[in-house]
Amino acid sequence: MSAQTPAQAEMAKLLVDALNLEDIAAEDIAPDESLFGDGLGLDSIDALEIALAISQQYGVQMQAEDSSTRNAFSTLASLTDFVQTHKK
């Protein structure tokens, strides 16, 4: 497991807080671990909650029909990179 960057640690905390993940500590989310399926096991409702939290925290709008948004939700690292690139 690779270490989280400060931006990834902040994003991991946002995920844990937004989804009320009681069984997972933010620091335990590996940057390259899949967020959905066999990884963290998130689902489409979780994705909506994450997108809302990102919008509120960073002012970044995530469009479901945009392929770059779908790619951003792959891992903690890709989600962090997407937000860092698009935040105002």
Domain coordinates of the chain in residue numbers? 6-86
Rounded CA gap, 49 and 52, in Å? 5
pLDDT band at 1 (very low <50, low <70, confident <90, very high): low
May I ask the CATH class of domain 6-86? mainly alpha
Residues 27-47, mean pLDDT to the nearest whole number: 93
Closest listed residue to residue 31, CA positions, set 79, 71, 70, 84: 79
pLDDT digits (tens, 9 = 90+) for 12-29: 999 999 999 999 999 999
Average pLDDT, the chain: 93
* Percent of the chain residues topping a pLDDT of 70: 99
- The packing angle between helices 44-58 and 76-86, to 10°, is 40
Q: What is the percent of the chain where pLDDT is above 90?
A: 80
User: Cα–Cα distance between 60 and 56 in angstroms, integer?
Assistant: 8
Name which of 27, 1, 5, 8 is nearest 82 in CA terms: 8
17 or 65: which carries more pLDDT confidence? Answer: 17
pLDDT tens digits along 47-59: 999 999 999 999 9
Cα separation, 27 vs 60, whole angstroms: 23
Instruction: Name the more confident of 70 and 17.
Output: 17
Residue 21 burial (CB < 10 Å; 0-12/13-18/19+)? middle
